[in-house]
Amino acid sequence: MVPLLALAAQDGGTVYLGWGAFTIQLGNFIVIAAMVVLFVLALVLPFPKGRKRS
Amino acid sequence: MSTPTKERAAESGPDEVEPFSTWTGRARRWMLKKLPPDKLLPESQPSYVASWIYVFGMGAIASLAVVIASGLVLSLNGPSWWHLSSLGHFVNSTHLWSVEFFFLFMVVHLWGKFWMASWRGGRVLTWITGVFSFAVSIAAAFTGYLLQTNFESQWIAFEAKDALNAAGIGAWFNVANLGQMFTWHIVLLPLGVGAIVAFHVILVRMHGVVSPIDAAESDSQLVNPKEASE
Amino acid sequence: MTATKPARRENPMSWRTGTGIAGRPWTGAVREYDLFKELTIGLVAVILLVLAASALFGSPDDKAVSLKSWAVAQPSDFVATATAELAGTSDTAGYGPPYNSTPGATQTLGPIDLQTLAGVKLPIDTAQAFVLGPLSSLPTPPSGVATWKAASADQRTAWTDAYAKALDKAKNHDLANVASGDYGPVPAMMRTLLTMAKQGSLDSVISAQGKFYNLDYTPAILFMGDGAYLNDLAAGLHLSGDQWGMMNETGNYPGQSWLWLFSFFYQIEPFASLPNADIVVVVLVAILTLALMLVPFIPGLRAIPRVIPLHRLIWRDYYRRR
């Protein structure tokens, strides 16, 4: 399987992913990925039923 | 549960008996009409507010509170403190991470609000103030980086001056002037962010959470509110 | 309420209050909601997340550089830059407003020249500020300063041109290998300036600007930025404009990922090689931000949530029970 995002560079411990001219630093990549994951989870995860209002 | 009409009757009642003659009285009447206490601090939400997407706005505000608290500690101890003290460095870390969480929650909140078309039903100002909060927050975060008094501050100041000078404001917003940037970052921009976010939240309380797209009068939640209640 | 209403079909995605359900207070089913409890839980959760992240990852702190560290690490770059400042050929010397008035230097958008409109509000004479001034502040200023001040403009240019060329040609860019020639007082002045820098006194003189209190670091930052030292250090940390530097943080720490759009334009043509790239990108991002703000008014854009119905997931309970 061809990786979409390959290790583009590693400069003294700092990891950069990317392809072509588009490199993204690991920290930023993780934050952006986390946002997308949280967004998707928020849409699909079931929400607990509330208390009945009498 | 009081219906909206009952609330309006309660408010307009005293008006007919004694009209307000002072600015203060009239302002109070207007404010109470726009945002009565049980709308400002409700005990219930419409039944459709049942998704995890709704927690991100709250998450952003909670993060903002931590940003401000950690920022307060940093600024009270002066810009050099975090280089010299391990507690200072830890507080700096909390400031950095609360900012990252702030933007993370705010952007997911923005995505959710777009896909829910939350500007519907007269809520366009809520949308506009939301985007404005985003923009002002970006400016606030940017000035923060300039106060780190390390290599990054030097580099960011050197680079950012070009965009500001090209726009003609570089002399009045001098990124290499630590004193000036301090004022922007710890006073003006936090006040700006705070004011716009407060206005945004008040608008949300005033208009209520927007109803689902294509909700209809025939929906059971509207026809039989008590039966459909969770 | 009016008896007769025009039979105008209302756009369900409209921002207007309208007559639909979205514009009226909700009179339907409700569920219990505790605002203060949710706020408290949210605050506790975020505090825990922040404390955990801070304890696990900390934050980066790359030490500031100085004229001293520059002079020690790259003396030939320092001297070459100082020569350019003296000659008035450095980037800062030819920047234009707000530092000086160099014709043709400003970034314009067609006829609009905001940079010039702003005026020279932070005037810097690079020769005086970075070379002659500091040298004159010494207890015994080098005689070269007087020689320089007495010389004609043509003579000064001849000296600095020749010296700059010789520096460039020197083997390994080593100051010791500079060929001899007619450079006037320039080499001696540079030697003294370099010594001042290496001792750290140049930092104090240039930062203090003759005052006791000073929080304006403009001269020092401009001076350093004119050389290769600062720029090379930044490039090594992937902080340059064409390396998505605007978004990046040093190390593996997350940076300002929200600046992705601003940073993006500097990576692609035609923006990357434009001489007025900064003003172009600023205006472009401003327009796009405004567009985001005005999405509710933009037909097509505002209809996207209906066309791609992610909301069916968010409100699936509601739609199921209709």
- In this prediction, residue A54 carries a pLDDT of 40
- In this prediction, residue B90 carries a pLDDT of 98
- In this prediction, residue A8 carries a pLDDT of 67
pLDDT tier, B230 (very low <50, low <70, confident <90, very high otherwise): very low
Site of tokens 């009447």: B29
Same domain as C177, residue C268: no
pLDDT tier, A2 (very low <50, low <70, confident <90, very high otherwise): very low
Report residue B75: phi and psi, to 5°: -70, -30
Count of domains in chain A?
Answer: 1
For an interface test with C, give the residue of A11, A14, A40, A49 to mutate (most C CBs within 10 A).
Answer: A14
Residue B8 has pLDDT above 60, yes or no: no
| C27 within a domain of the structure (yes/no) | no
Which residues of A are less than 8 Å from C251 in CB distance? 13-14, 27
Same domain as C118, residue C176: yes
Q: What is the pLDDT of residues B21-54, one digit of tens each?
A: 899 999 999 999 999 999 999 999 999 999 999 9
Domain that residue A34 falls in: 6-44
Same domain as C155, residue C293: no
| A23 within a domain of the structure (yes/no) | yes
Written out in words, the top-level CATH class of the domain with range B52-210 is mainly alpha
Flag if A42 and B56 touch (Cβ within 8 Å): yes
The model's pTM is 0.91
Give the end of a domain, one of C214, C234, C254.
Answer: C234
| C20 within a domain of the structure (yes/no) | no
Same domain as C261, residue C206: no
Mean pLDDT of C131-157: 95
Cα C201 to Cα C206: distance, rounded to the nearest angstrom: 9
Give Dmax over CA atoms of chain A in angstroms: 63
| C280 within a domain of the structure (yes/no) | yes
- In this prediction, residue B229 carries a pLDDT of 52
Q: Taking the domains of chain B in order of start, what are their residue ranges?
A: 52-210
| A49 within a domain of the structure (yes/no) | no
Flag if B104 and A50 touch (Cβ within 8 Å): no
Q: What percent of chain C has pLDDT over 70?
A: 98
Write the residue in C35, C253, C293 that is nearest to B128 by C-beta.
C293
Same domain as C85, residue C157: yes
Q: What is the pLDDT of residues A9-19, one digit of tens each?
A: 666 778 888 87
Residue B228 has pLDDT above 80, yes or no: no
State the nearest Cα–Cα gap between A45 and chain B, in angstroms.
7
Q: Which of B10-19, B51-60, C106-115, C139-148 has the lowest average pLDDT?
A: B10-19
Q: What is the pLDDT of residues B145-188, one digit of tens each?
A: 999 999 999 999 999 999 999 999 999 999 999 999 999 999 99
Same domain as C203, residue C77: yes
Residue C175 has pLDDT above 90, yes or no: no
Asked if the C-beta of C33 comes within 8 angstroms of chain A's C-beta atoms, the answer is yes
Cα A9 to Cα B39: distance, rounded to the nearest angstrom: 54
Which residues of B are less than 8 Å from C51 in CB distance? 94
Cα C318 to Cα C51: distance, rounded to the nearest angstrom: 38
| A24 within a domain of the structure (yes/no) | yes
pLDDT tier, B123 (very low <50, low <70, confident <90, very high otherwise): very high
Reading the block at residue C297, the tokens are 């008014």
pLDDT tier, C39 (very low <50, low <70, confident <90, very high otherwise): very high
Cα B34 to Cα C218: distance, rounded to the nearest angstrom: 50
| A14 DSSP β-pair partners | A11
Contacts 24+ apart (CB under 8 A), C212-215: C215/B177, C215/B178, C215/B179, C215/B180, C215/B182
- In this prediction, residue C172 carries a pLDDT of 83
Give the end of a domain, one of C190, C207, C234.
Answer: C234
Give the end of a domain, one of C218, C234, C250.
Answer: C234
- In this prediction, residue B36 carries a pLDDT of 94
pLDDT tier, C3 (very low <50, low <70, confident <90, very high otherwise): low
Cα C53 to Cα C112: distance, rounded to the nearest angstrom: 47
Same domain as C309, residue C179: no
Reading the block at residue B18, the tokens are 């004694």
Asked if the C-beta of A20 comes within 8 angstroms of chain B's C-beta atoms, the answer is no
Write the residue in C30, C38, C53 that is nearest to B44 by C-beta.
C30
Same domain as C271, residue C225: no
Asked if the C-beta of A34 comes within 8 angstroms of chain B's C-beta atoms, the answer is yes
In which element (H, E) is residue A11 found? Answer: strand A6-11
Count of domains in chain C?
Answer: 2
Q: What is the pLDDT of residues A4-52, one digit of tens each?
A: 566 766 667 788 888 777 888 899 999 999 999 999 999 999 998 866 5
Domain that residue C75 falls in: 67-234
Which residues of C are less than 8 Å from B131 in CB distance? 289, 292-293
- In this prediction, residue B222 carries a pLDDT of 81
Same domain as C186, residue C134: yes
Asked if the C-beta of B24 comes within 8 angstroms of chain C's C-beta atoms, the answer is no
Q: What is the DSSP string of C29-47?
A: -EEE--HHHHHHHHHHHHH
Which residues of B are less than 8 Å from C13 in CB distance? 117, 120, 213
Asked if the C-beta of A54 comes within 8 angstroms of chain B's C-beta atoms, the answer is no
Asked if the C-beta of B44 comes within 8 angstroms of chain A's C-beta atoms, the answer is yes
Q: What is the pLDDT of residues B50-95, one digit of tens each?
A: 999 999 999 999 999 999 999 999 999 999 999 999 999 999 999 9
Reading the block at residue B2, the tokens are 């009081």
State the nearest Cα–Cα gap between A13 and chain B, in angstroms.
18
Write the residue in A34, A47, A51 that is nearest to B51 by C-beta.
A47
| A1 within a domain of the structure (yes/no) | no
Nearest CA in chain A to B99: A31
State the nearest Cα–Cα gap between B154 and chain A, in angstroms.
21
| C119 within a domain of the structure (yes/no) | yes
| A54 within a domain of the structure (yes/no) | no
- In this prediction, residue C96 carries a pLDDT of 94
Q: What is the pLDDT of residues C12-25, one digit of tens each?
A: 898 999 888 999 99
State the nearest Cα–Cα gap between C260 and chain A, in angstroms.
10
Task: Tell how far CA C124 is from the center of its chain.
Answer: 19
Asked if the C-beta of C32 comes within 8 angstroms of chain A's C-beta atoms, the answer is yes
